[in-house]
Amino acid sequence: MFGADLAVKWIHVSSACLLLGSLALMLAVPALGSGDSNPITELVMSRAKTIVHGSLGVLLLTGAYNFWRVLTNNTLAHSSVYQDVLGVKMVLFLIILGLAIVALKRAAGSAATPRARRLLPWMVFLTLLVVLLSTYLNLERIHLLVQDAETSAVTAPAGTG
């Protein structure tokens, strides 16, 4: 199970990186281009939208798996701080998902609409915030698991090691 968990986490983090990079690219390309009708700008924006949609879908699936793994881990499932931060992270992801749907649906053409251009910086900011919360969750998970192992070692009967 460790190999599957590691693979899913790697895919999850890679998807988050792709999402953040694609959103940043969607912000930068219109500023660099000479106009919205530039064929290269249209191609880049079209591919970036595809990557954003794909990475959001993968994040949703791998996040659901990771959440299930947390719920089945007694140490993590009983930590209120871990659960609170995880809940905030999930709400932020749902907000990002909603913003992406609104921004990218409105930008059905190749170029981003003014509404999409206003929403993209918020999406980048919220994605960075989710990444920071993920870092905290990983550190908290390690701390809780070490603490649980130390408690188990202290409470184990003598002569069982």
- DSSP string for 103-150: HHHHT-SSSPPHHHHHHHHHHHHHHHHHHHHHHHHHHHHHHHHHHHHH
The pTM assigned to this predicted structure is: 0.72
Looking at the predicted structure, is the pLDDT value of residue 72 above 70?
yes
Please tell me the distance from the alpha carbon of residue 18 to that of residue 118, in angstroms, as a whole number.
20
Residue 161, SS3 per DSSP:
coil
| Number of alpha carbons in the 13 Å side-chain half-sphere of residue 96 | 27
Looking at the predicted structure, is the pLDDT value of residue 46 above 50?
yes
Looking at the predicted structure, is the pLDDT value of residue 30 above 80?
no
Q: What is the pLDDT of residues 90-138, one digit of tens each?
A: 899 889 888 887 776 655 444 556 777 788 888 889 988 998 998 898 8
Model pLDDT, residue 110:
47
